[in-house]
Amino acid sequence: MKDFQNKVAVITGGASGFGREFANIGARLGMKLVLADVQQEALDQAKSELEAQGAEVLAMRCDVRNAAEIQALADATMGKFGAVHLLFNNAGVGSGGLIWENTQADWEWVLGVNVWGVIHGVRIFTPLMLACAKKDENYQGHIVNTASMAGLLNAPTMGIYNVSKHAVVSLSESLYQDLRLIEAPIGASVLCPYFVPTAIHQSHRNRPADVQDDAKPTASQEAAQAMSDKAVTSGKVTAQQVAEWTFDAIRDDKFYIYSHPGALGNVQRRMEEIVTQQNPGDPYKEVPHIRDMLRAKLKN
């Protein structure tokens, strides 16, 4: 996809973090924007600011776990703009702790947003994009699914998040292959950021009532939260930079998008362990003080 002027971009999780930066770039490129988010106040603010930049914006409160709400988003998009060219399945949340300590509510929330949100987006919007392509011989489209380096690695006390993001990587690769098989004029990418200063580490602030868990956090969950807070807030790569690289990847039809290519050494080691049938290695081999600190917190 090379031409963005007057094209329509749909962005879930569009009121903050990567989604907000995608919207900023889209506005700068002359795109029509559809923002979906569960944060109504932030959504209203984003809409107002983007319209002040001259963008035409449709903003809808949407819980991506809910297929009906994604369908309503798609219907509203087609009703207002009549097409979809760029889809960012970007909404995401996080939860940590030892994997057996996560409750059913934790699993339902994280998988609901991180996995089912992407499933609903792909299932509902891809046919619309294919229909748009049939009507326009010059149509170009692209789908970006936000995963994480946690979709390629498996650090301890991040199990529930790791599972969800591995699913997104697999789903995205499958989408890419299926689109290529039918020779569709639609590209696909998976975004795998590492620790970038967004609000992902505080996603529990928007946790819906139906998946609330009032139990006191376990020691591992408290330790995981503390580590996540520190890692995310101390990140040097910005969400704006990641968004710029994402649009570059869309232009170049690149599938894998990374914020920290240096972390790929860990991915390579994991792949070698799989191929050579080695047991999984120590993810903290190069930073043993982090492993020791985490272990000490759990012992205490």
- Which of the residues are catalytic? 161
Find residue 137's DSSP bridge partners.
none
Q: Mapped to the 3 state alphabet, what secondary structure does the chain carry?
A: CCCCCCCEEEEECCCCHHHHHHHHHHHHCCCEEEEEECCHHHHHHHHHHHHHCCCCEEEEECCCCCHHHHHHHHHHHHHHHCCCCEEEECCCCCCCECHHHCCHHHHHHHHHHHHHHHHHHHHHHHHHHHHHHHHCCCCCEEEEEECCHHHCCCCCCEHHHHHHHHHHHHHHHHHHHHHHHCCCCEEEEEEECCCCCCCHHHHHHHCCHHHCCCCCCCHHHHHHHHHHHHHHHCCCCCHHHHHHHHHHHHHHCCCEEECCHHHHHHHHHHHHHHHCCCCCCCCCCCCHHHHHHHHHHHHC
Task: Tokens 């409160």: give the residue.
Answer: 61
